[in-house]
Amino acid sequence: MRLREDTAADPDRDPVAVVHAALDAGVTMVDTADAYQNEELIGRTIRGRRGEVLLASKFGLVWGAGIAGSFEVRADPAYVQQACEASLRRLDVEVIDLYYLHHRSDTIPIEDTVGAMSDLVTQGKVRALGLSNVTAEDLRRAHAVHPIAALQEQWSVLQRDIETQLVPAAAGLGTVVVAHSPNGHGLMHQVRRTADEQLPSDLRAALEEVAGAHGATPGQVALAWVHHRQQVHDVPVIPLPGTTRVSHLRANVAAADLDLSDDELRRLDPTQAAS
């Protein structure tokens, strides 16, 4: 999401080097969106290695011209087609492997949006469909129109709202959960500098304790916790840690090898630790 051309002078933050380091490490999914405003960069970066990449992009968020950070949602069928064709041009690819609706619409029935997305599959412009920022009911209604391969939502040891309704719905439908912000937008990497109101003291202590036992960092433990959720919920889970540094990328990849014990997982769950 934050990869930009203007950091290329720093070898550790060169966006091309970051993506290539991921591919070299065996990471296969590269996730972007038209709203990230870097599809051209991603397209150039993966050129020559397209066969190694499961390329995901998103549509539906249109930035407002006035207030910084404001956006509107466009999910009408005509815009679906328009947005996809624009992304294909920017990415300079013939097909997008996984295409998401970036945010639910309050005005366009999700059946209409997914119906138009399904047309993209028929046209050969998209291989699979995904949803992001939706409800469990949205997911079920969408899946009735066309199989939803992936659900992308925020999921971390700090943010678990998804487990109440969305994860059970995804598990029931056979939808993979892509967990964005698995390190709490970087909070887990900054445990020692994080104020109590941002990260509960018991969770902070647990992250540090488990990290110490493994010779890892709290951020790596938090990422490993997300990897382990697929065992808890019986649903495939793909953590999606965004990074702009090669060094952080390598640390994130290493977290996949952390095997947390049942006791450690309970230690990271305040509700179970207190019981």
Q: How far apart are CA 266 and CA 210, in angstroms?
A: 11
Which residue in 36, 79, 99, 100 is the catalytic one?
36
Q: Which regions of 117-225 does DSSP assign to beta strands (E)? A: 126-132, 148-154, 176-180
Q: Are 62 and 74 in contact (CB under 8 A)?
A: yes
At 209, is the secondary structure helix, strand, or coil?
helix
Q: Which residues pair with 131 in a beta bridge?
A: 101, 151
φ, ψ of residue 212 to 5 degrees: the values are -60, -35
36 part of the active site: yes
Q: How far apart are CA 173 and CA 154, in angstroms?
A: 19
Q: How far apart are CA 37 and CA 49, in angstroms?
A: 21
Look at strands 71-73 and 61-63 and give their pairing: antiparallel
| Residues with catalytic roles | 36
